[in-house]
Amino acid sequence: MKHEMIASTWFDTKRIKELREQSQSYSAKEDLWSWYVLRRISIFVTILFIKLKLTPNAISWLSALFVVSSGGWLIQATPLGFIMAFVFYNLGYLFDCVDGEVARLTKNTSKKGYFIDLLIQGATLPVFLSIPLGLLVINGSLQLKGLELIGLYSVILFIIMALFVPIAYQLTRSSAQDERDPVNKIRTKSVVFEFAGVLLGLPGFFATLLLVTLVSGFQTVLWQEWYMILFLFIFILKVIARFFITVKSFPKEP
């Protein structure tokens, strides 16, 4: 993909295309889901939010809230919870696209905005943890309901944020903000790798979970349980591979 590409649609007006060119230049860090799905509609949300005079940082906080909330729905381990988790995660991801577009169109960028973007990335950690917790709820090992599950999830969230907030601050102050990690560089070398990256990440997880839920109906969560187990198994293998690839990327010490 080239940097001059824009995420256009067949019904874009001339004005919409101009706004896309100003705010949606392709980034190698962007995955297929955000580029081919969310970016196609994000510009319309961006226009609405600019008219509502929402700041980029306010939109970023909304993004973080929706992403985190998706884990709260997922941990309920019900068909409705799975569907709502998909909706909340993708709203959060959509707003994560929108905040940057609003910032570029209004020329309102800041280090604080980058700090919040890092927190949004950190907000996916409790969402990942909600997957095994949801499995424990399904098989009856975790005997909690409703608000009790939300309380447990909230504690996990604050524990993670206690560690991630200072890390995000340090990265914000760092001069290497645009540095791409080795696995990200590998992902963008092939469409196959990019597709695999989406499937093995949260966008693919929630999309597949929604599909499995709709196909299997609302009477059981058996197929969702097996999919979540499979996803976690592959996820663990992916993390191990990522660890070794990243460590190997460092130059050898003399």
What token pair was written down for 150?
């939300």
Residue-wise pLDDT tens digits, 37-87: 999 999 999 999 999 999 999 999 999 999 999 999 999 999 999 999 999
Mean per-residue pLDDT for 14-20? 91
Position 3 pLDDT exceeds 50? no
In-domain check, residue 80 = yes
In-domain check, residue 9 = no
Domain with 139, as residue range(s), is 14-249
Q: Regarding predicted confidence, which is higher, 53 or 249?
A: 53
Residue-wise pLDDT tens digits, 82-138: 999 999 999 999 999 999 999 999 988 788 888 888 888 888 999 999 999 999 999
Residue 106's pLDDT is what? Answer: 92
Position 2 pLDDT exceeds 60? no
In-domain check, residue 70 = yes
Q: Which residues make Cβ contacts (< 8 Å) with residue 71, sequence separation at least 6?
A: 85, 126, 127, 129, 130, 153, 157
In-domain check, residue 180 = yes
In-domain check, residue 156 = yes
- What is the count of structural domains for the chain? 1
Q: Tell me, what CATH number does 94's domain have?
A: 1.20.120.1760
Q: How far apart are the first and last CA of the chain?
A: 38
CA of 112: how far to CAs of 37, 57, 173, 241, in Å? 27, 8, 10, 32
In-domain check, residue 2 = no
Position 234 pLDDT exceeds 50? yes
- How many other C-beta atoms can be found within 10 angstroms of the C-beta atom of residue 159? 13
In-domain check, residue 74 = yes
In-domain check, residue 8 = no
Residue-wise pLDDT tens digits, 136-169: 999 999 888 888 999 999 999 999 999 889 988 8
What token pair was written down for 235?
């996820």
Among 54, 43, 46, residue whose Cα is nearest residue 6: 43
